[in-house]
Structure 1
Amino acid sequence: MQLVKVGLCAFGMSGKIFHAPFLKEHPGFFMSAVVERSKEESKEKYPDATIYKSVEEMLAHADIELVVVNTPVQTHFEYVKMSLEAGKNVIVEKPFTVNVAEAEELVKLAEEKGLFLSVYQNRRFDRDFLQVQKIMSEGKLGEIKETEIRFDRFRTTASGKAHKEDPQATGSGSLHDLGSHLVDQAVQYFGFPEKLFADVFSMKGEEFANDYFEILLYYKNDLRVRLKSSVFSKEAHYAYVIHGEKGSFLQERTDNQENELVAGSIPVYGKDWTIPLKETDGILNVLNENSETERTLTSSEPGNYMNYYQNIYEHIVFGYYLPSPAGEIIQNMKIIDAAWDSSKQGKVVEL
């Protein structure tokens, strides 16, 4: 099996949870280098990876062909550009960049260099997202008329992460953080909207970056898609609510890969590795061919973030499709930028 050598730009939560375990367990990747500016925590689990004190040092000396930029969003543009100019393919954490202009410049540079640039939209591999995709593809709901996608939390105090909570830091706040997931899911389900209206602000107060948003997306055929997130949600809502001309589907957010990885679970290459669901997590209520109501409790199939890296490997080795290519994610950035404009102006914004 061809071995792809990878360099990881940071070893914080993202590196420890979402990237390093999958790179280690996938037989086609070798984590050759990791950047740790002041610590050497990666040595315990990844002793074969050379530790560098900066991204610049890693790019100058490490024998790698793929770089994972998993640093704070405010540094994405700088480090992705630096990696591309060094001739490396790049995976960059979401959110891609802090604005559309940065995203477009990086996509253009990758094309000029003949390199690939993929955004790590891991929530496309969540069990709940995949279940909604499956239900809609089966056509049981008929034409979709209204959808709501939520990602709520109960985090009423400061997390201590300035790059996410400082209102003066461009790209901080829930709109870029969780919004990058919800916007991506809406675009995956329904494509690019025609216009939007948004309400974005901080429930915790002006000294914090935005922690609440509601975005209403307007599509052709009068479809409405609402994206919403709050940090004052102690009781969970259904994460996905889809209403169609033939019925409705309600899906809980039940993917637990992140929590299991935090607890020490090790992903397995080639098969499902998460703990099975003990209960149903969805409700499908539709009219059948005889116009009779059929209400069914549903269970989603396991998701697997390893599939993202499998797609990356197959792209490198066999030229198969690239997962979440950066050129595609520019659409998401346009929606996020427009949501900011809409909230500030208090009006509908054309896209």
Structure 2
Amino acid sequence: MGLIGYGFSGKTFHAPLIMAEPDLVLTAIASSDAAKVRADFAEIVIHADPQSLIAAADIDLVVIATPNDTHAPLARAAIAAGKHVVVDKPFTLNLDEARDLVALAAQRDVLLSVFHNRRWDSDFLTIRAAIEEGVIGEVTHFESHFDRYRPLVRDRWRENAGVGSGVWFDLGPHLVDQALQLFGLPDRIRGSLSGQRVGAVTDDWAHAVLDYGDRRVVLQAIMLAAGGTQRFTVHGTAGSITKRLADRQEEQLIAGMRPGAPHWGEDPDPLMIYDAADVHVRPALAGDQRAYYDGIAAALSGRGPNPVEPIEALACMAVVEAVRISASSGTTVAVPLADAEREAAELALGAFKTRASTRPATIRRA
């Protein structure tokens, strides 16, 4: 494997999770900061140019963990070179770029996958299990928040003006992908984006409402929430559930914990279950993002499916794009997918009531 990009995502998520998968070997990293790479990897091959890594004969799989506006051109170059490709989220900047990559990967018969690692977060797994068990009956209202308190605008590409920046492109794909895993594609979408912090030049507040008949799914990511919010709030015909805190794997990785170490992915924040008579407390399930690259290894060796199929990534991009269209136009919009794309996406995602048998990939080691 070769990793392009050794910024926050490449260093914090991809490299440790790849190194934890025994069936994958990270042999090269492309980065403009060779010293930063060398401090963590004494023996690895370092490429100053992404194209030279893509062209390397010994690289089978290219992981793209670079700024958002480079995802599509780098993925296109890697696929054209016959490499398997993993792209960090967001998949691309728009739906047309996503369609182009999906078609090219099918033409070249290579694996294409998007790093939707938050499918294996403790908070989401806990909420999903409770919903699938029917703990609160039929879901009528679902809220998913990535609310943070970061009042100062930083000088980095994610917060600078430009295509692909802003909180919606940064955190929206996580929120959308999780919602699609639970409920499939929505009927209609309403979105609103704003820059609220002093000095903000791109959106740092994002709010979307996805309509599923009478069910409403609310997705929110903001940078001026000092506290008092829940990660998940779900209401149903038989009760309600809440999960206050988010998964801790990112925090653990930043602190230097190796994936799979003792207490990896453990979540001390319980699920709260409310019904007409009482309040019940349920321990949270552990998260384990190693499942993503375990799934990649299984897919490449013919032992299992792609953990994030291209059509699922395409569906996620369609909803991300629809929110931006709605926010700019002030209108409610449909998911901008062709009938054949929507049918394929729904087939891949599965109907909500049939997902009880779907579980995250199993990590085979202790």
**Is TM (by shorter chain) over 0.5?**
yes
What residue number does 1:309 align with? Answer: 293
Q: Is the 8 A contact 1:267 1:273 kept in 2?
A: no
Evaluate the alpha carbon distance shift between residue 81 and residue 236 of structure 1 in structure 2; reply closer, same or farther with a 3 A threshold: farther
Does structure 2 retain, via aligned residues, the 8 Å contact 1:152–1:236? no
* Correspondence for 2:91: 96
Q: 1:197 aligns with which of 168, 190, 194?
A: 190
Deviations 1:9-61 (A, max 9, x none): 01112111101112223211111110122423222332332101111111223
Q: Who is 2:21 aligned against?
A: 26
| C-alpha distance in 1 between matches for 2:31 and 2:274 | 51
- Secondary structure of the corresponding residue to residue 40 of structure 2: coil
CA RMSD of aligned residues (A): 1.6
Does the 8 Å CA contact 2:265/2:287 hold for their aligned counterparts?
no
Letter in 1 for 2:309: P
Cα distance 1:228–1:277, how it changes in 2: closer, same or farther (>3 A)?
closer
Matched, 1:127 2:116: no
Quote the residue 1:80 is aligned against: 75
8 Å contact 2:79–2:110 — kept in the other structure? yes
Q: Distance in 1 between matches of 2:221 and 2:37?
A: 33
Cα distance change on mapping 1:53 and 1:103 into 2, 3 Å = same
Letter matched to residue 283 of structure 1 = M
Deviations 1:186-242 (A, max 9, x none): 11111100001111111125751101011111112x001111111110014111111
Return the TM-score normalized by structure 1. Answer: 0.91
Residue 244 of structure 1 corresponds to 236
Partner of residue 260 from structure 1, selected from 222, 233, 252? 252
Q: In 2, distance between residues paired with 1:285 and 1:263?
A: 35
User: How big is the shift at 1:275?
Assistant: 6.4
Q: How do residues 318-329 of structure 1 correspond to structure 2 at under 5 angstroms? A: 318-329=302-313
2:225 matched residue in structure 1: 233
1:62 to 1:51, Cα distance in 2 relative to 1, 3 A: farther
Q: Contact conserved, 1:35 with 1:52, CA < 8 A, in 2? A: yes
Distance 1:111 1:272, change over 3 A: farther
The SS at the match of 1:118 is strand
Residue matched to 2:30: 35
Quickly say closer, same or farther: Cα 1:277–1:196, change in 2 above 3 A.
closer
Query: Any stretches of 5+ residues in structure 1 without a counterpart?
Result: 1-5, 288-292
Q: 2:171 corresponds to which residue?
A: 178
Q: Are the counterparts in 2 of residues 199 and 343 from structure 1 also a CA contact under 8 Å? A: yes
Q: Alignment partner of 2:153: what SS?
A: coil
Q: 1:281 matched to which residue of 2?
A: 270
Kindly indicate whether the alpha-carbon contact (under 8 Å) linking 1:314 and 1:320 is maintained by their aligned counterparts in 2.
yes
Contact kept, 8 Å, 2:247 with 2:267, in 1: the verdict is: no
Change (3 A) 1:71 1:122: same
Q: Tell me the distance in 2 between the aligned counterparts of 1:145 and 1:332.
A: 22
How big is each residue's C-alpha offset from its partner over 1:260-283, in whole Å with a ceiling of 9 and x where there is no partner? 111111112xx86426444x4221
Asked whether the equivalents of residues 231 and 246 of structure 2 are also in contact (C-alpha less than 8 Å), the reply is no
**DSSP 3-state at the match of 2:301:** helix
TM-superposed deviation, 1:338: 1.2
Q: Distance in 2 between matches of 1:182 and 1:275?
A: 19
Partner of 2:160: 166
1:299 and 2:293 matched: no
List gaps (5 residues or longer) in structure 2. Answer: 336-366
| Number of aligned residues | 335
Three-state SS of the structure 1 residue aligned to 2:136 is coil
TM-score of the superposed pair, with normalisation by structure 2: 0.88
State whether residues 122 and 266 of structure 2, in contact with CA within 8 Å, keep that contact through their aligned partners in structure 1: no
Paired AA for residue 282 in structure 1? L
